Amino acid sequence: MKTFGLTGGIGMGKSAAARLLGERGVPVVDTDVLARQVVEPGQPALREIQGAFGDEVVGPDGLRRDALARIVFADPAARQKLESITHPRIQELWHRQIETWRAERHAAAVVVIPLLFETGAARIFDATLCVACSAATQQERLRERNWTTEQIQQRIAAQWPIEKKMAGADFVVWSEGGLDVLGEQLGRVIGLQALAQGPR
């Protein structure tokens, strides 16, 4: 089984790429989804976060993401503290998922990791893939999330510049041209025609 680590800048199309791959039968796990799982009510990580950042970041329904985001995106040290709590747990989950897929003899599998290079996870994969778009398109997509200019700048600053991610990746796909074009690029990289034959 060939493993791919998929990354890209925030708002540049990682989720769209993951959805397209999943629709074409490629096993995909998104670490953003795993990140939500590890902080669900009752999870040890949630208690650690509450202890590190205060009661105001946890409400009756669990983690108050907006309150936590205001803290960690304004303070690199706070963000590193949060990552030290969540990243090892997230990594354990996707490692376990890869081994399950390997046992099922899939031809290829993809793990979506926004901080693929920043966390040193790229070396674990057979190949890395970066989804990118222009800065103008990125800004437009993030504004559609009703984020302020400050929120956008903070989140972009929390990751490597997209040019550095692109330079480090084995493959780059461009998400400007619509889903059909994105899917065609992903197919060339992952080899979706071969995957259509099923697990092996």
Q: What is the CATH number of the domain that holds 37?
A: 3.40.50.300
Based on the number of CB atoms within 10 Å of its own CB, is 124 exposed (0-12), middle (13-18) or buried (19 or more)? middle
Amino acid at 127: A
pLDDT (tens, 9 = 90+) of the chain, 200 residues, equals 999 999 999 999 999 999 999 998 999 999 999 999 999 999 999 999 999 999 999 998 899 999 999 999 999 999 999 999 999 999 999 999 999 999 999 999 999 999 999 999 999 999 999 999 999 999 999 999 999 999 999 989 989 999 999 999 999 999 998 899 999 999 999 986 444 444 44
The C-alpha atoms of residue 138 and residue 143 are separated, in whole angstroms, by: 9
Predicted TM-score (pTM) above 0.95: no
Instruction: Tell me if 153 is assigned to some domain.
Output: yes
Residue 174 lies in a domain: yes
Helix residue ranges, H only, the chain:
14-23, 31-37, 44-53, 65-72, 76-103, 135-143, 149-157, 162-168, 179-190, 192-195
Residue-level pLDDT at 192: 60
Q: Can you give the pLDDT at residue 191?
A: 80
Tokens of 115: 């901080």
8 A C-beta contact, residue 131 and residue 175: yes
- From the list 15, 4, 8, 19, the residue with the least C-alpha distance to 172 is 8
Q: How many C-beta atoms lie closer than 10 Å to residue 163's C-beta?
A: 10
- Taking alpha carbons only, the member of 163, 138, 178 closest to residue 17 is 178
197 found inside a domain? no
Report if residue 199 sits inside a domain. no
- Evaluate whether residue 198 is within a structural domain: no
Three-state SS string over 78-100 comes to HHHHHHHHHHHHHHHHHHHHHHH
Per the domain annotation, does 70 fall within a domain? yes
Say which residues have a Cβ less than 8 Å from residue 176's Cβ, sequence separation at least 6. 133, 134, 137
User: In total, how many domains does the chain have?
Assistant: 1
Give the residue numbers spanning the domain of 80.
2-192
What's the confidence (pLDDT) of residue 199?
Answer: 41
One-letter amino acid for residue 155 of the chain: R
Domain-embedded: residue 200:
no
CB 94 within 8 A of CB 87: no
